[in-house]
């Protein structure tokens, strides 16, 4: 009987947790040959998420592990924490807002049993997203796959099934600034794909603002490609060549006595153009330098305040607290 770990990062989701467990209970009843472990990662919630998790009716014959982070570290860090503590033969990250349907899990398990080590869930339709989000998401995937390696599949999020060997490979990667979609693709393994239509969020509001999504995209591009640095160098070389040709032409015209009185507007335009390119190049270099700086500190990806476990029914379970109040275990360490 295989153990399936469901990893769920949460931030202020007190209303969504009971609905999520209700849907998962129905899914579990369709899978009597599998045991389930739920690993919830509380990413600095300020509402009653922890209280709800410790008292909610979870599905029968399942274990609940609650990782309480010391503050909000972000979804990528929370997902890392969940993968570090999931002990299942297969691990499935999923959002608690039910936009990714738990009912797809049996189909993913069928592909896993058939021999696939990764089963990704691809959004066949993004109709639940706004027009702007659909266009920017398409632009990101197209840009990333053109300049970065490895390619990441279009319209595939964190919702996927991973075999234990895949999770162990990801945990050995030492990055602190993590772009999990890229890391999932980087490790490879035999991959199957199942399509689904993504629904609307059932409760609460999204925690990703436009600014956070922009920075998330930058992490994805700079974490897996040096093409922006190369483009800055090529652009500088081309402009230097054009400047040399322009300067030579001015010298030739001066020697022939055909040069006009220098114009203020044209000179100012050239100065501003070159200055803007220099600042752009410095900004690109700064992105990579900042990543190297953050990695050089070797701080842990997350800090645990507490670990709580429930293995029996609510009325019989005692909440067991972890021995260490601050778990500084790095994600690259052994389970």
pLDDT level of residue 212 (50, 70, 90 thresholds)? low
Structure tokens at 328: 């500084």
Burial tier of 210 (Cβ tally within 10 Å: 0-12, 13-18, 19+): exposed
Over residues 119-143, mean pLDDT: 71
Q: Is the pLDDT of residue 26 over 80?
A: yes
Where b means 16+ CB within 10 Å and e means fewer, 27-44 reads bbeeeeebbbbbbbbbbb
Q: Read off the pTM.
A: 0.68
Phi (first) and psi of residue 173, to 5 degrees: -80, 130
Give the residue extent of every domain in the chain: 2-209+300-321, 227-297
Q: Is the pLDDT of residue 322 over 60?
A: no
Cβ-contact 291, 222 below 8 angstroms: yes
Question: What SS3 class is residue 10?
Answer: strand
pLDDT level of residue 258 (50, 70, 90 thresholds)? low
Write out the CATH class of domain 2-209+300-321: alpha beta
Partner residues linked to 310 by β-bridges: 64
Phi (first) and psi of residue 159, to 5 degrees: -70, 110
For residue range 175-211, list pLDDT tens digits in order. 777 778 778 888 888 888 888 887 666 565 655 555 5
Over residues 304-333, mean pLDDT: 49
Question: What SS3 class is residue 206?
Answer: coil
Helix ranges restricted to H, the chain: 16-29, 49-55, 75-85, 105-113, 131-147, 164-171, 180-187, 210-224, 227-255, 264-297
For residue range 51-67, list pLDDT tens digits in order. 888 888 777 778 889 99
Q: How far apart are CA 132 and CA 316, in angstroms?
A: 49
């Amino acid at each position: 009987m295989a153990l399936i770990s469901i990893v769920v990062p949460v931030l202020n989701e007190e209303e969504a947790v009971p609905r999520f467990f209700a849907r998962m209970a129905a899914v579990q009843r369709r899978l009597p040959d599998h045991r389930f472990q739920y690993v919830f990662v509380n990413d600095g919630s300020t509402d009653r998420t922890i209280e709800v998790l410790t008292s909610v009716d979870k599905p029968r014959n399942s274990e609940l592990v609650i990782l309480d982070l010391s503050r909000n570290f972000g979804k990528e860090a929370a997902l890392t924490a969940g993968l570090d503590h999931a002990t299942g033969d297969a691990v499935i990250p999923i959002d608690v807002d039910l936009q990714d349907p738990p009912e797809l899990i049996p189909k993913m398990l069928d592909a896993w049993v058939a021999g696939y080590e990764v089963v990704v869930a691809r959004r066949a339709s993004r109709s639940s997203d706004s027009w702007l989000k659909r266009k920017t998401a398409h632009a990101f995937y197209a840009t990333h796959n053109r300049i970065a390696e490895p390619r990441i599949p279009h319209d595939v999020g964190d919702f996927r099934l991973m075999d234990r060997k895949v999770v162990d490979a990801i945990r050995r990667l030492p990055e602190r600034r993590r772009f999990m979609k890229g890391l999932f693709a980087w490790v490879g393994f035999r991959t199957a794909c199942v399509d689904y239509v993504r629904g609307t969020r059932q409760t609460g509001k999204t925690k990703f603002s436009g600014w956070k999504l922009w920075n998330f995209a930058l992490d994805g591009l700079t974490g897996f490609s040096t093409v922006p640095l190369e483009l800055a160098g090529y652009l500088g070389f081309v402009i230097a060549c054009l400047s040399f040709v322009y300067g030579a032409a001015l010298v030739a015209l001066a020697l022939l006595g055909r040069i006009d009185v220098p114009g203020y507007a044209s000179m100012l335009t050239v100065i501003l153009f070159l200055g803007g390119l220099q600042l752009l190049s410095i900004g690109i270099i700064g992105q990579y330098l900042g990543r190297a700086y953050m990695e050089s500190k070797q701080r842990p990806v997350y800090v645990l305040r507490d670990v709580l476990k429930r293995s029996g029914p609510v009325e019989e379970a005692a909440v067991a607290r972890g021995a260490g109040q601050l778990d500084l275990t790095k994600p690259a360490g052994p389970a």
